[in-house]
Amino acid sequence: MSASGRRSTGASNRSGSEGCTGAWAKCWEALHPERVELLAYHFSLGAVWDKAADYHRQAGDRAAALHAYPAALSHYDRAVALAEAAGLPDTQRFDLLAAREATLNVLGQRERQAADLETMARLAQDAPQRRLQVYRRRAWLLLHTSRFAECEAMARQMLTLARQWGDLAHQAAALTVLGTAIHQRGDMLQAIPTLRTAIALYRQVGDLRGEAKAYRALAAAFHGTGAYTAAREAVAAALSRYEALDDQVGRAEGLTQLGALHMEQGEPEQAIACYHRALEICDAIGYRYEQAKGLTNLGNVYYFQDRLTQALRCYDEAIRLFASIGERRGEAFARANAATVRHTMLGDDEAAARDAEIALAFYVQVGDRAGEGQCLDTLGGIAFRQGDLATARERWQTALMAMQAVGDRWGEISVLRSLAALALAEGRPQPALEHLDAAMALCRDLGLADRAIALQAERGTVLLALGRPEAALAATTQAMAQLRPSVEQAYLVPFAHYQVLAVLGRHGDARTALEQAHRMLSEALRGLSPEERAMSLEQVTEHRAIVAAWEAIQPRRVTLRLPAASAPTGRPLRDDEYVEVIWTVAAPEDEEVPGKVARRRHRLLRLLREAADQAAAPTVAALAEALGVSARTIKRDLASLRQSGREVHTRGSR
């Protein structure tokens, strides 16, 4: 009885509290209708479910407008949860779910997105506009989850219905997602006219946001074909519309695109500035997909700037972010780039092959020929380094066909460069030259000055193999004159110049070029761990060649004990009458002295001078051993030097 009374009293008090809270909320609503977050809270306490749901929706809309997407999602979740208790009609429930689905899209929560779209499809019933809206959102979700064939089918179905119902806005939307899907499966040339039609339709209906989205898709397609001027114009058109709309998501996406264009055209600082601005926006609004994409592109810039540790850190974080939102295409994109850097710069072919093969499997599955070509280029390089030239050729030829099929001229340049290296290794310099000339022609067409500089240096080494040393020197000299830090693997340019100069017998100039190559390589590898640096210098063929050449021109020194200059002659020496001396038995400048005898006497004079500087009196036997000749030869050389007026002193001549 007592317990029952307490339950009854508690229920009565709660009801009274709710009544008071609801009344208070209505008063507050009359006085401050703009305080939607607070009203949502108090109408929920008062169990006024329709009002609570409406104010949670308004609070979600406000947060989304401010790009506070996590907060928006929290309000939309509450509104959707209250919709049934509030008895909201299907049309309002559809709109609530549509608002939440858009937010889930930005936050990359794909499974929840798909679930909301299923419910929206049931609620749409026979309402044409709502059905088309579901088709559009589903198509984009399919695109983001790399189901390109299904995306195209959905977009074409949407386009057919929109045309039947005379809906120009949804026709434009269908063409935008269709053009984007065609591009992302690797057919940039087919995507361009589709997207241009979409832009024209959006302009006709006055949909500024849709027009901006289509311009971004068009910019990406132009970018894929290497049409940089057209791509920049399209990005600028998109960004101007996003600015007018104060659309932060669009601004972040446009800035990421613009950064990629700056990077590929040799403007790294502008690229970094774009990426950082985009990443700041993404971080503020919780836009993980574009954040991961921006990190991958930023990693690419760091790679070209020889900031390898930062580049790999960006790739690895991007891979993690893409995987966390189920974005397989983005993950493949980041892995493919990481594989290139690990192979090219670190020599970590095991990790590079793993990333490249994971990315390749995805690209083959979705039919992305450009992505397939990039992965095969890296895997071909790994086979080449292992000495498997047949596999390297097969992979590179397949990669070239893939790049050419979809018009990916940036990728085509890379593969042509790889095929030139293969031809040269096989002793076929003429085909190597043809590959490089084709790549340089593409660079000229695309305005890629930095890439042309590296190719010109490589032409020098090929011309050298063709027996044309003067033409080779002209090529490497031109590359050296144009060299700048933004050139990929810039240290290879002075190394090629060194190789040509060495063959021409210009040893002093060759040594200067080699010193530059070695210094630039050291700078490129700065920031790596000692283990990574050691791997790079040992496993990367070009790095190993630079270090070997550098070590070969370093002075060769020996340390030995010689009689002190003050030690008396005519008796055996005590142990304390010797001094420790460092002798330079060979130095790079020795090679510039013509003639074997003259070169030996040049070295002999240096040993005598160094001994005197260290208060030692060398014996003939010590000199003969250091120079690798007989004592009789040394005596003849000493006599000749004295006869020519040189003052040369040994222990025996004192």
Phi first, then psi, for residue 559 (nearest 5°) are: -115, 130
pLDDT (0 to 100) of residue 43: 60
Distance CA 469, CA 273 (A): 43
Distance CA 198, CA 614 (A): 84
pLDDT (0 to 100) of residue 38: 62
| pTM greater than the 0.95 cutoff | no
pLDDT (0 to 100) of residue 370: 87
C-alpha 83: how far from chain center: 46
Closest CA to 419 of 440, 389, 448: 389
Contact 262, 299 (CB under 8 A): no
Compute the residue count for the chain: 654
pLDDT (0 to 100) of residue 11: 31
Cβ neighbours around 210 below 10 Å, total: 21
C-alpha 654: how far from chain center: 69
Distance CA 425, CA 496 (A): 15
Closest CA to 214 of 236, 234, 188: 234
List domains and CATH numbers for the chain.
8-125 (1.25.40), 147-246 (1.25.40.10), 429-483+490-552 (1.25.40.10), 557-653 (1.10.10)
Low-confidence ranges of the chain (pLDDT < 70): 1-36, 38-49, 654
